[in-house]
Amino acid sequence: MMIGIFIYALGGRQPEKFESVVLINSIGCKSAPTQTVGTVVAKNIVLTVAHGVAGQAANSITTIDGSVIQAKIVAIDTELDLALLYIGADKGGESLMPIVLGSAKANSKAKFISFTDDEQVTQTAKVIRRLRINTQDIYLKEKVSRPGLEIDAYVVVGNSGGPIINDKNEIVGIVWATSRSIQNRSWATRVEAANDMLNLLSMSNPESTTPEVVACSR
């Protein structure tokens, strides 16, 4: 299966550009707009973190060619910190090729995809280990456990939702947090955690789907 990857050859070999990885801008209940990263994982469907889009009034994605497309939340899980956004075919979502979902191996090389301003950035990363991450939901109210990955990658504010890509160019994780005490130590939710949401969505019409209303995650 072909996935959405471009390798530009101007002036020599340049870093890989992943067409399926997009920048998400959200506005609404928060005091300032938020930026996160999302990945097209199914036809017209973008996977990202819930804490960046929960309760927001409007969400748009920016592709690597600069196109801006409006999107809407169609599924959200505040315990797993995952959300699915829908991009209508008439709005350009049809042209974005989904990436393949894969599985992460401990002590394996990987790539972490993020954005600096509107420019996509690919950096080398490492999957240190697979683990269950005991943490809290996005509102810091309930204790939860997530299937996770411990990652060696440089992550800053606005990088949440960025995918971890394995050596087969498959998405294996979604970054949601970074350590304040250990340099370049970050955590991701394993991508298979989104399977239930994706399966449920596949049995409905995303254009008419409205997820349970959630409050703003401040």
What digits encode the pLDDT tens for the residues 198-208? Answer: 998 877 766 66
What is the pLDDT at residue 151?
98
Of the two residues 10 and 179, the one the predictor is more confident about is: 179
Q: For residues 28 and 49, what is the distance between their CA atoms, to the nearest angstrom? A: 16
Single-letter code of the amino acid located at 95 = S
* CA dist., res. 65 & res. 7, Å (int): 13
Percent of the chain with pLDDT over 90: 72
What does each C-alpha distance from 102 to 143, 147, 193 come to in angstroms? 27, 14, 12
What CATH topology corresponds to 5-97+195-207? Thrombin, subunit H (2.40.10)
pLDDT number for residue 121: 96
DSSP tag of 137:
-
- d(CA 194, CA 188) in angstroms, rounded, equals 12
pLDDT at 63 over 50: yes
Amino acid symbol at 186? S
Q: Tell me whether domains 5-97+195-207 and 108-192 share a fold.
A: yes
CATH topology of domain 108-192: Thrombin, subunit H (2.40.10)
User: What's the confidence (pLDDT) of residue 12?
Assistant: 45
- Letter string b/e over residues 46-55, b meaning 16 or more CB atoms within 10 A of that residue's CB: bbbbbbbbbb
Comparing C-alpha atoms, which of 18, 99, 112 is closest to residue 63? 18
Domain boundaries, the chain: 5-97+195-207, 108-192
Q: pLDDT digits over 21-52, tens only?
A: 999 999 986 667 899 999 999 999 999 999 99
Which of 32, 93, 99 is closest to 63 using CA atoms?
93
Q: What is the pLDDT at residue 5? A: 43
CA distance 136 to 120: 30
Band (pLDDT 50/70/90 cuts) for residue 127 is very high
